[in-house]
Amino acid sequence: MISIENIGKDIERWLSELDYSREPKNLYEPVGYSMSLGGKRLRPTLCLAACALFRDDYEDAKWCALAIEVFHNFTLLHDDVMDKAGIRRGKPTVVAKYGINAAILSGDAMLIESYRLLGMTDSPSFALVDETFNKVAAEVCEGQQLDMDFETRTDVTTDEYLEMIRLKTAVLIAGALKMGALIGGATAADIEALYEYGILIGLAFQIQDDLLDTFGDEETFGKAIGGDIMTNKKTYLLISALERGDTQQRRDLAQWMSLKDPIREEKIAGVRALFEQTGARKATEEKIEQLFSQAMSKLREMEIPAEGKRAFIDNAQKLFKRKK
Amino acid sequence: MISIENIGKDIERWLSELDYSREPKNLYEPVGYSMSLGGKRLRPTLCLAACALFRDDYEDAKWCALAIEVFHNFTLLHDDVMDKAGIRRGKPTVVAKYGINAAILSGDAMLIESYRLLGMTDSPSFALVDETFNKVAAEVCEGQQLDMDFETRTDVTTDEYLEMIRLKTAVLIAGALKMGALIGGATAADIEALYEYGILIGLAFQIQDDLLDTFGDEETFGKAIGGDIMTNKKTYLLISALERGDTQQRRDLAQWMSLKDPIREEKIAGVRALFEQTGARKATEEKIEQLFSQAMSKLREMEIPAEGKRAFIDNAQKLFKRKK
């Protein structure tokens, strides 16, 4: 049986074999730094696990998995430039450490590097893999654009929010599964089921992340709670509260959001209370449960033997288990 | 006979068929704007002309040529962000018109779009074309990094400068020719000769551009003369002057370069005089001639019939003819 622990070890080994110590140093050192920031390697793991569902090993999906991880880190790098973010995974972001021009150009080099890695894929399905990669990559940019557009809008709906996180987060997770399955030689129906699973689990994952940012436990979540509240981030929680609240509750929310220099604890407590009172917290928790459950149904639809399906579901549940 | 006029018309028609009016508008409108800024379409023209050297038509290289043009415009877009440039081809740059975040993200979308277009190529040589594209794209980033590195260095040599413009400018021209020739079905020797021609002509082209920026005629050159002098840009001319000048001349050059608020006409006249006195102008003109002549030799090495070779040389000379 292929375990996600073994997949994880292979991914770290393969990543460590990518050499970014080359010249010009000012271009490639930030690439290496970006890749060294770590993370769960969720997307390449899913890509390899999906491939292994349909054949004995996942070696053929190696380059595709690495391409996806480099691409993902490229998006984080450029997002941090656009968001002027200073910290990522507890360390200085590339833009904070190397400056804006280095961050832009190194990000470009990473995007190109991701295509170089993808091109190493030796598979009869390469044309479809390439097409999927291109589509997903464009969609991730579209999602980031919508996210930025939302910052200046006050009328974003939960449906629009779901579409934004589908593009920004879910399609890359779904695409990683689809590309792995393509290389693995899956049937069109199984590829479709895995892709749909990826979309649903990606949406659930992102909304859960939003929920934990507001209602999580600081110690287990690993970062300060309430960041989204302090920046008035248009999360599923906030949008739900604005959709569900009565006139007074909406007015109170708008009041908290308009404060120029609020006391942190007061604003977080005030907004959290409104998320409870409007039923937004409950609606968000229900949405996550619904998406998780729909995701599992999609997996069960797959035509592969029950044993492989069960192992994959176990692995997926380990991957997506979040600290409450 | 295939004329560059016809190639040019096809390129403009194909480019006009690419639709960037789609959503999200804030992502794709800057892409369309960037592509509408025009230019000579030198690289796709060379790609198609190279393809046509080895077969009757150039339709098979269509998507590759478009990918190269979109890629080239992506590099201009992100370079303008890094250089904080306000004007390109007489119009506001994307970053000036849409802001920095839109420029970064639209540039990313263009780079991905260039790969999407490349992926439409239907050719038995696709794997080699893809590999060439990836290599060239990475090298262009390396060249841009070296260019930025040079800004803060005072000891750049002409050899280092040639390596920088080889990467930043020449490899994309050479790569366009190589990819066209690959799709056209050329022999390895002819592909190599065309690539070498492209490097040499690209170097000549860039150094000539530097020369015209300083010694060109404002009216025919189409932009103000002396921009490079005013920004102390490390061009072949300046580096040659620093390499060739005696102690006093080098001191005078350093003096002009260190002035905080020089009178434009005086600095330009003073530096131009030093370029003449040190022999840098003459050395630059000789270098351009040498590169052009080496480039032509490479073309003559090709194994194709004399007639096609002559037509290609005529076309290339039209393309690279610069206003003095």
Tens-level pLDDT at each residue, chain A (324 residues): 678 899 999 999 999 999 999 999 999 999 999 999 989 999 999 999 999 999 988 999 999 999 999 999 999 999 999 999 999 989 999 999 999 999 999 999 999 999 999 999 999 999 999 999 999 999 999 999 999 999 999 899 999 999 999 999 999 999 999 999 999 999 999 999 999 999 999 999 999 999 999 999 877 766 788 999 999 999 999 999 999 999 999 999 999 999 999 999 999 999 999 999 999 999 999 999 999 999 999 999 999 888 888 888 888 888 877 544
pLDDT in tens, B123-165: 999 999 999 999 999 999 999 999 999 999 989 999 999 999 9
Give the residue from A126, A5, A108 showing the smallest Cα distance to A64.
Answer: A126
pTM to 2 decimal places: 0.96
What's B152's DSSP letter? T
User: If you count residue pairs, one on A and one on B, with CB atoms under 8 Å apart, how many are there?
Assistant: 92
- Looking at the predicted structure, is the pLDDT value of residue B299 above 50? yes
Give the span between the Cα atoms of B154 and B31, in whole angstroms.
37
CA distance B114 to chain A (A): 10
**Would you call B149 and A116 a contact, using CB atoms and an 8 Å cutoff?**
no
pLDDT, averaged across chain B: 94
Confidence band, pLDDT 50/70/90 cuts, at residue B323 = very low
Q: Which of residues 264-303 of B touch A (CB under 8 A)?
A: none
CB A172 within 8 A of CB A43: yes
Please tell me the predicted confidence (pLDDT) of residue B18.
Answer: 96
**Would you call A78 and B130 a contact, using CB atoms and an 8 Å cutoff?**
no
Give the residue from B260, B138, B33, B87 showing the smallest Cα distance to A31.
Answer: B138
Please tell me the predicted confidence (pLDDT) of residue A324.
Answer: 44
**Would you call B26 and A145 a contact, using CB atoms and an 8 Å cutoff?**
yes
Confidence band, pLDDT 50/70/90 cuts, at residue B308 = confident
**Would you call B105 and A24 a contact, using CB atoms and an 8 Å cutoff?**
no
Give the span between the Cα atoms of B126 and B120, in whole angstroms.
10
Give the residue from B201, B203, B200, B193 showing the smallest Cα distance to B53.
Answer: B193
Closest CB to A142: pick one of B24, B119, B130. B24
Q: Which of A126, A141, A148, A168 to mutate to test the interface with B (most CBs of B within 10 A)?
A: A141
Confidence band, pLDDT 50/70/90 cuts, at residue B1 = low
| φ and ψ of B18, to 5 deg | -75, 130
CB A49 within 8 A of CB A58: yes
Beta bridge mates, A151? none
Tokens found for residue A259: 């404060």
**Would you call A27 and B141 a contact, using CB atoms and an 8 Å cutoff?**
yes
